[in-house]
Amino acid sequence: MSAHELFLYCPATLPFVPVVRGAVHALIAEECDTAALYQLELAVSEVLTNVIKHAYKERNDGMMEIRVVRDATQVTFESRDTGGAFEERAPSLPASDALQEGGYGLFLATQAVDTLSYRRDLSGRNYWTITKRLTAS
Amino acid sequence: MEVAARLEGNIAIVTLAGQLDALTAPEARQVFHEYGTGGYHAVIDLENVTFIDSSGLASLISGLKTYRAHGCEFMLASIQPNVMQVFALTMLDRAFHIAPDVSSAIASLPGAVEEQKA
């Protein structure tokens, strides 16, 4: 494992979402301006919250595997879980005057990073991948 | 996340510190609603909130709807610049009344008691 690579294997429960955000922050902070760092942490938070709440339906017995790789130009974040499949649909922004409480998560994630992708393999594992270019602080 | 609330006249000032996400949003939501039906306006001090995601937003929207349903204001104050990105991306900066600080939020409220400075 290189110095710019991080692996985590942790319970898919809400207390671990800030733990993963913190790990990403620690790995990236020196190489990134604060706005871009926030955007990356935001996307990570949205993806993992989605895994916990929807893939595992907050069962609290699931696990998630996290891999974060940082090179000179970009960060790649990958998560893997064995929860239910994600129902893919294009994220859309609820009307601001509707005061809808939900539905912003994946829209925010897609707006905050360069790429956000999902796939499910034949073994029933879900993979979320985020990439974000690093911008110097 | 730390949550503190105090009353100043007809205004509930709720001070949050830390990160407002799916883990901490239920606690924030509970505090917002505690004064939401009592005829109070709310000023939510976000000066020390370093992170808000969509779950945090949802709790704030919930508060906004509750206070407005009772004819009261629900204002946000002192949003950190990076956190403001979330409001801008969702265009919820148009839905909330956002003040640069708690004092100006209080001053803008109808019939407000002016915050006493030490």
- Chain B contacts to A (CB-CB under 8 A): 19, 21-23, 51, 53-55, 57-58, 61-62, 64-65, 81-83, 85-86, 89-92, 94-95
Q: Which of A31-40, A100-109, A123-132, B38-47 has the lowest average pLDDT?
A: A100-109
| Å between A122 CA and nearest CA of chain B | 30
Chain A residues with CB inside 8 Å of B90's CB? Answer: 93-94, 96, 104, 107-108
Tokens of B25: 């949003």
In order of A70, A132, A134, B84, the CA distances from A2 in angstroms are 10, 19, 18, 35
DSSP of B35-78, one letter per residue? TTTTT-EEEEEEEEEEEE-HHHHHHHHHHHHHHHHTT--EEEE-
Tokens of A23: 């790990």
Gap between the Cα atoms of B62 and B59, Å rounded: 5
Confidence of residue B118 (pLDDT cuts 50, 70, 90): very low
Mutate to test the interface with B, among A38, A53, A132 (most CBs of B within 10 A): A38
Is residue B22's pLDDT more than 50? Answer: yes
Query: Which of A38, A97, A99 is the closest to B85 by Cβ?
Result: A38
pLDDT in tens, A56-68: 998 989 999 999 9
Whether B90 and A96 lie within 8 Å, measured CB to CB: yes
Gap between the Cα atoms of B76 and B98, Å rounded: 5
Chain A residues with CB inside 8 Å of B79's CB? Answer: none
Tokens of B33: 């609603």
Confidence of residue A137 (pLDDT cuts 50, 70, 90): low
| Å between B118 CA and nearest CA of chain A | 34
Chain B residues with CB inside 8 Å of A49's CB? Answer: 21-22, 53-55
Contact yes or no for B75/B97 (Cβ under 8 A): yes
In terms of phi and psi (left: phi > 0; alpha: psi -120 to 50; beta: otherwise), the region of A57 is left
* A-B contacts at Cβ under 8 angstroms: 77
Residue of A nearest to B94 (CA): A96
pLDDT in tens, B49-72: 999 999 999 999 999 999 999 999
pLDDT in tens, A4-48: 899 999 999 999 999 999 999 999 988 789 999 999 999 999 999
Model pLDDT, residue A60: 85
| Å between B54 CA and nearest CA of chain A | 5
ipTM: 0.91
Q: Is the pTM of this model over 0.90?
A: yes
Model pLDDT, residue B111: 66
Phi (first) and psi of residue B43, to 5 degrees: -120, 120
Contact yes or no for A15/A48 (Cβ under 8 A): no
Whether B54 and A104 lie within 8 Å, measured CB to CB: yes
Model pLDDT, residue A66: 98
pLDDT in tens, B66-111: 999 999 999 999 999 999 999 999 999 999 999 999 999 999 997 6
